[in-house]
Amino acid sequence: MNEPRTWQETLLNPLAGSHLLKICQDEAMQAEAVAYFIKGGLLDNELVIIIARAPLRNAIISRLNAMGVNVQFSKNQGQLRFLDAEFLLSRILINETLEDRVIQELIVRPIQIAHAEHRKIRAFGEMVDILWQRRQYDRALQLEMLWDDLSREYQFSLFCTYLSKSFDANHYDESLEHVCKVHTHLLPLEHEEMTVTSAKVEAVDLFRAAWDRVIGKVAAAKRIPQIPI
């Protein structure tokens, strides 16, 4: 089967065990992308777990409603679960150290239970982007790898988004390479998504150029098996 051509199709129907990444210009694009990911899971009768802060949760719900998705019904059926990213981070990150026992209790155990019930799962997490914005890069990558191990072990699809503004313009290449290496699918950075005022054109062009360089480097090294076009 051919790989879907668009990021929307990829998010609607990701491969089991895939760890997807999309860089978003703003919160509106972020909510749009996550809404597609959720819709696909609900249509496929999967358990969908969303870990996000209140503003993103509200934006996602608004977008899902616009797509004709009955969010409240899905929540009532236990098919769609929203968890607060700030609360989870406050519990699993103590003195800048990830607490394994709490991670097992709050993240791993619910996935194990769903897997034991033979339920298909997909999950989205905003926590890594929050950590990146706080410049806690090591913890963000550590959490990415933990999630990656889980998605492979329990064969569920995992989606991460990072806002482009989370990245330091002085270290675009290095930061993007670190982030890209811990994902299996890199969703295209489409030009029309990054509409900006003339004052920001140069910054956006720098980001696009860095993204293209990193994608080429990662693909050449074959670290990412499939990169949708």
When the pLDDT of each residue in the chain is averaged and rounded to a whole number, the result is 88
Q: What is the pLDDT of residues 103-120, one digit of tens each?
A: 988 889 989 998 888 889
Look at the block and give the residue holding tokens 């009532």.
76
Q: What is the pLDDT of residues 25-72, one digit of tens each?
A: 899 999 999 999 999 999 999 999 999 999 999 999 999 999 999 999
Q: What is the pLDDT of residues 192-216, one digit of tens each?
A: 555 555 456 777 888 989 999 998 8
Give the C-alpha separation, 226 to 219, whole Å.
8
Q: Which pLDDT does position 96 carry in this prediction?
A: 82
Q: What is the maximum span of the chain, computed from C-alpha positions, in angstroms?
A: 53
**Quick check: helix, strand or coil at residue 162?**
strand
* CA 136 and chain centroid, separation: 17
210: which DSSP letter?
Answer: H
- The angle, 0 to 180 degrees and rounded to 10, between the axes of the packed helices 172-181 and 201-220 is 40
Residue 19 β-bridge partners: 158
Tokens of 9: 């199709």
Would you place residue 218 in the very low, low, confident or very high pLDDT band (cuts 50, 70, 90)? confident
**Do residues 144 and 138 lie in contact, with contact meaning Cβ atoms separated by under 8 Å?**
no
Ramachandran angles phi, psi of 218, nearest 5°? -65, -45
Q: What is the pLDDT of residues 123-143, one digit of tens each?
A: 999 999 999 999 999 999 999
DSSP code per residue over 44-106: TT-EEEEEE-HHHHHHHHHHHHHTT--HHHHHHTTSEEEEEHHHHHHHHEETTEE-HHHHIII
**Do residues 40 and 123 lie in contact, with contact meaning Cβ atoms separated by under 8 Å?**
no
Residue 158 β-bridge partners: 19, 123
